[in-house]
Amino acid sequence: MISNYIKLAWRILGRKKFFTFISLFGISFTLGILMVILSFLQSELGTDKPLTYKNDFVYLNTLSLKTDFFDTIVSIDTTFLNDEMVLDSSFEIKGTGSMNWNSELNNGIAEEYLSDLESAEEVSIFIPSSEHDVYVNGVKQTFSALYGDPSYWNIIDHQMLEGRVFDQKEMDAVAKVLVVSDKSAENYFGTKEGVLGKEMFIDGTNYKVIGMYAHTGKIMPYVSPDIVIPYTNANLDNQDSFYHGFFNVLYKKKKGVSADKLKEEIVYAATRIPMDHPSKPEGYEDIVFRPNTYDEDYAQAIYYEREASKSYSIMKWIIISLIAFFVILPTLNLINLNVSRIMDRSSEIGVRKAFGAHRGNIISQFIIENIVQTILGGLIGFGLALALINMINKGGYLMNARLELSPKFFMYSFLVTILFGILSGLLPAYKMSKLQIVNALKENKL
């Protein structure tokens, strides 16, 4: 039966070429652009390498010194009670603002107070991105270096191509070693082959290459650095001596523990930090931490709200409504077109009904026809999406992001295509199935 429907659908596509063109144009463009959006979301917020453990991340990038100001408002009412004046006074304490000083963290604070938390499986302390100009044969190249620790590699799951990563011993010995991405290796040495053991001259120091990992373009700098160096090598002279500095802390939570639990522990850790260090700026009373999950941090980078969860929900709704608007219009368009076109087929429906076809048969026939059309449009759209993704990656139009084609992306694209077919076919199919045999057969030439 289904193969019959598909054959029929194919015939009908060829019958009115102009209408087929209009439908396919709309379907392929809509699906093509949807696929690009899907690919973006999948590459940036999906769990492909190196973001394998992304859903377990809790990220802390700011230490905020804070003081709240309060005003005490006293109001006094006088009343006469038994000819005696009575004062009735009330106090109201009202927050009138606060003073904040936000900056990244000092590594001392992070090591001492933030690295031993109950719900954290791994903790990494690093300087996310430090840019260095390097002159290769007279041409300037800027490398973004991450000054990290060995745990970094356990949290961000880079695919190692060659060699190894540095360990705690090398870290403590301030070993001049680094791990390089294949892309940067090619930029620096002109080749990816045999770079292990060679030296790179970064920030006035010669570092020995001990490993190479696959470059993945991601917008978050700490997810795709160009080179990774043990942070004991970083020039920390300019760090505030105790509270503020250059460091961020990335946690991977234990399995089965909620991210909120870990966040609470981080927030609580702030209370253990002494507030009487001589380097504390005058007038600040508290330390506040605002740890975020990966998605929240990502949303906050795009649309800043002090509470990252608020940024996240705003971004989520903006994306959902944009996609909804974008899909609804072409769907409506297709529905309109299909609703007008079915009248063409009324005699066919009349005959099928007269020979005993149920409404369900008619509906499924039309929806299958529509899905065949959508899949065809989806294939064209897929070609379009590939071209667009290629263009975006080549031109670097989305900052550092490289859109990738993963198996999940194919799966989602296919699902979206089918869904679009069902959605745009449902109403016309329903309308068609309601047709009375008499009306369908009365006026039409068979």
Partner 1 sequence: MIKHVLKLLWNKKASNALMILEIFLSFIVLFFVLSYVFFNLGKVNQPLGFETIDIWKIQLDGVEQRDSLEAVTTLQNLKTELLSMEEIEAVSFTESIVPFQNSQWRTGSADNGFQMTTLLVPVDEDLKKVMGLNITEGRWFNEDDLNSSMKPLIVNQEFIDRYYPNKSMVDSTFILNGDRKIIGVIDQYRYIGEFEENHPTVLSIAPYFQNMSAVLLKMKGNTPTAFEEKLSQRIANTTKSTGNVIVDLEKERIENSRESWVLIIALLAICGFLCLNVALGLFGVLWYNINKRKAEIGLRQALGANGFDITKQFILEILVLTGIAILIAIFFTIQIPLLKVTEYPNSLFYKSIGFSTLIILILVTICALFPSVQAAKITPANSLHED
Mention every residue, 6+ apart, whose C-beta is less than 8 A from residue 392: 36, 398, 403
Of 163, 159, 160, 166, which is closest to residue 124 (Cα–Cα)?
A: 166
Residue 29 touching partner 1 (CB under 8 A): yes
Rounded to a whole number of angstroms, the CA Rg of the chain reads 31
Stretch 339-358 residues interacting with partner 1 (CB under 8 A):
339-341, 343
Q: Which stretch binds partner 1 (CB under 8 A): 185-193, 231-239, 372-380, 418-426?
A: 231-239
Which lies closer to partner 1 via its Cβ, residue 61 or residue 151? 61
Which lies closer to partner 1 via its Cβ, residue 178 or residue 270? 178
Beta carbon of residue 101, minimum distance to partner 1 (angstroms, whole number): 13
Residue 70 touching partner 1 (CB under 8 A): no
- Which member of 199, 397, 415, 419 binds partner 1 (CB under 8 A)? 397
- Which member of 2, 76, 399, 438 binds partner 1 (CB under 8 A)? 399
Beta carbon of residue 119, minimum distance to partner 1 (angstroms, whole number): 34
Which lies closer to partner 1 via its Cβ, residue 49 or residue 132? 132
Which lies closer to partner 1 via its Cβ, residue 16 or residue 316? 16
Which lies closer to partner 1 via its Cβ, residue 28 or residue 181? 28
Phi, psi at 263, each rounded to 5°: -60, -45
d(C-alpha 253, C-alpha 392), whole Å: 34
- Which member of 4, 67, 96, 235 binds partner 1 (CB under 8 A)? 235
- Which member of 101, 189, 284, 326 binds partner 1 (CB under 8 A)? 326
Amino acid at 313: S
Residue 426 touching partner 1 (CB under 8 A): no
Beta carbon of residue 354, minimum distance to partner 1 (angstroms, whole number): 23
What is the secondary structure of 364-388 as a DSSP string?
Answer: HHHHHHHHHHHHHHHHHHHHHHHHH
Stretch 359-378 residues interacting with partner 1 (CB under 8 A):
none
Structure letter (DSSP) for residue 353: H
CB 233 within 8 A of CB 146: no
CB 151 within 8 A of CB 251: no
Instruction: Give me 242's structure tokens.
Output: 């105790």
Rounded to the nearest 10°, the torsion over CA 261, 266, 270, 272 is 80
Q: Which stretch binds partner 1 (CB under 8 A): 54-62, 233-241, 250-258, 303-311?
A: 233-241
Which lies closer to partner 1 via its Cβ, residue 54 or residue 345? 345
Instruction: Give me 7's structure tokens.
Output: 């054959």
Structure letter (DSSP) for residue 328: H
Residue 91 touching partner 1 (CB under 8 A): no
Residue 285 touching partner 1 (CB under 8 A): no
Q: Output helix, strand, coil percentages for the chain, rounded to the nearest 5.
A: 50, 25, 25
d(C-alpha 264, C-alpha 262), whole Å: 5
Stretch 113-172 residues interacting with partner 1 (CB under 8 A):
130-133, 135, 138, 140, 142
Q: Which stretch binds partner 1 (CB under 8 A): 264-272, 327-335, 350-358, 416-424?
A: 327-335
Q: Is the peptide bond before 50 cis (omega within 30 degrees of 0)?
A: yes
d(C-alpha 268, C-alpha 289), whole Å: 9
Give the binding site for partner 1 (CB under 8 A).
Answer: 18-19, 22, 25-26, 29-30, 33, 130-133, 135, 138, 140, 142, 203-205, 235, 237-238, 325-326, 328-330, 332-337, 339-341, 343, 397-399
